[in-house]
């Protein structure tokens, strides 16, 4: 799907900017027992931002769902199972941008997100942190983005009711991205 951008990002020069997984984080949180949140991250992901000659950026990203890490091995095994990510049948989640637009001092990055074989249009609130000359390896750009997804929209419909009412897990998942990308030579 082609990207339709109505805006450009200052200082983001044409070329391919590769996401640096060492200096980036893909995290999430979900309500647990109706009173707290469980947080986790994915340790294996990749992606790039391609900036056209006219300054129009497009983003492609891939997350290996088998790399989920909630700091609890038993929970991680359950999240990887068919009850949740079904990582054996659907090993990756993907995002392909379709539009970037300004929103006040920040931006909205829209695109197609696929999880468990289900593709939905999502919008990420995007904060662009600018470009830095880097540390001798070329310029780097920084971004922070968030979105809230409903897990049931992606076929994660397991319900684990609590005896006194409510559920073990909430339906809303907050995704938080902290991305550093470097311009490829």
Q: How confident is the model at residue 4 (pLDDT cuts 50, 70, 90)?
A: very low
Distance CA 147, CA 14 (A): 27
pLDDT digits (tens, 9 = 90+) for 85-105: 999 999 999 999 999 999 999
Residue range 170-176: mean pLDDT, rounded? 91
pLDDT for res 6: 57
167 has a pLDDT exceeding 80: no
pTM summary value: 0.91
CATH level 3 topology of 4-183 = Lipocalin (2.40.128)
pLDDT digits (tens, 9 = 90+) for 102-125: 999 999 999 999 999 999 999 999
The string of DSSP letters for the chain reads ---EES---TT--SEEEEE-GGG-EEEEEEEETTTEEEEEEES-EEEEEEE-TTS-EEEEEEEEGGGEE-S-HHHHHHHHSTTTT-TTT--EEEEEEEEEEEETTEEEEEEEEEETTEEEEEEEEEEEEEEE--SSS--EEEEEEEEEEEGGGGT-----B-TTSSBSEEEEEEEEEEEEEEE--
pLDDT above 70 as % of the chain: 95
pLDDT for res 2: 43
pLDDT for res 157: 84
**By mean pLDDT, which of 21-25, 150-154, 168-172 is the weakest?**
168-172
Distance CA 184, CA 181 (A): 9
As a whole number, the mean pLDDT across the chain is: 90
pLDDT for res 142: 96
71 vs 32, residue with greater confidence: 71
Give the residue extent of every domain in the chain.
4-183
pLDDT for res 71: 95
């Amino acid at each position: 799907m082609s990207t339709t951008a109505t805006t450009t990002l200052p200082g983001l020069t044409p070329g391919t900017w590769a996401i640096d997984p060492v200096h980036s984080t893909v995290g999430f949180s979900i309500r647990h027992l109706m009173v707290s949140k469980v947080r986790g991250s994915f340790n294996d992901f990749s992606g790039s931002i391609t900036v056209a000659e006219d300054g129009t950026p497009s983003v492609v990203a891939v997350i290996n769902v088998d790399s989920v890490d909630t700091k609890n091995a038993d929970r991680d095994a359950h999240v990887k199972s068919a009850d949740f990510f079904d990582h054996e049948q659907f090993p990756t989640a993907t995002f392909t941008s379709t539009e970037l637009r300004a929103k006040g001092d920040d931006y909205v990055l829209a695109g197609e997100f696929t999880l468990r074989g289900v593709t939905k249009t999502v919008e990420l609130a995007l904060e662009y942190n600018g470009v830095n000359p880097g540390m001798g390896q070329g310029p780097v750009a920084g971004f922070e983005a968030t979105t809230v997804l409903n897990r049931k929209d992606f076929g994660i419909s397991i319900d684990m009711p609590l005896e006194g009412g409510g559920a073990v897990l909430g339906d809303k998942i907050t995704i938080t991205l902290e991305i550093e990308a470097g311009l490829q030579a």
